[in-house]
Structure 1
Amino acid sequence: MRDELMAIERKLYNLYKLGEMFANQEDPPLIDIFQLLA
């Protein structure tokens, strides 16, 4: 169970990082949204 949680957290973190990278390239206001989600 714990390993599953860690895997999910890692996926969420990777998604967050991808989203942050994408936001930096596309549209600055999106960065604020991703930081609010963090």
Structure 2
Amino acid sequence: MELELTQIQKDILYALITLYKKKSGGSIKGEEIA
């Protein structure tokens, strides 16, 4: 339950969303998280 872990997870999630958007063509609900 460390805040640092959450921050790292958020960074990784954002990177994964960006990659997924590139692969999918920018058609994902990731924008909501961003």
- Establish whether TM, by shorter chain, passes 0.5: yes
How far the C-alpha of 1:28 sits from its partner, in A, is: 2.6
Q: Percent identity?
A: 19
Moved over 4 A (4+): none
The structure whose Rg is larger is 1
Q: Which runs of 5+ in 2 are unaligned?
A: none
**Higher helix proportion, which one?**
1
State the aligned residue count.
32
Give RMSD over aligned pairs. Answer: 2.2
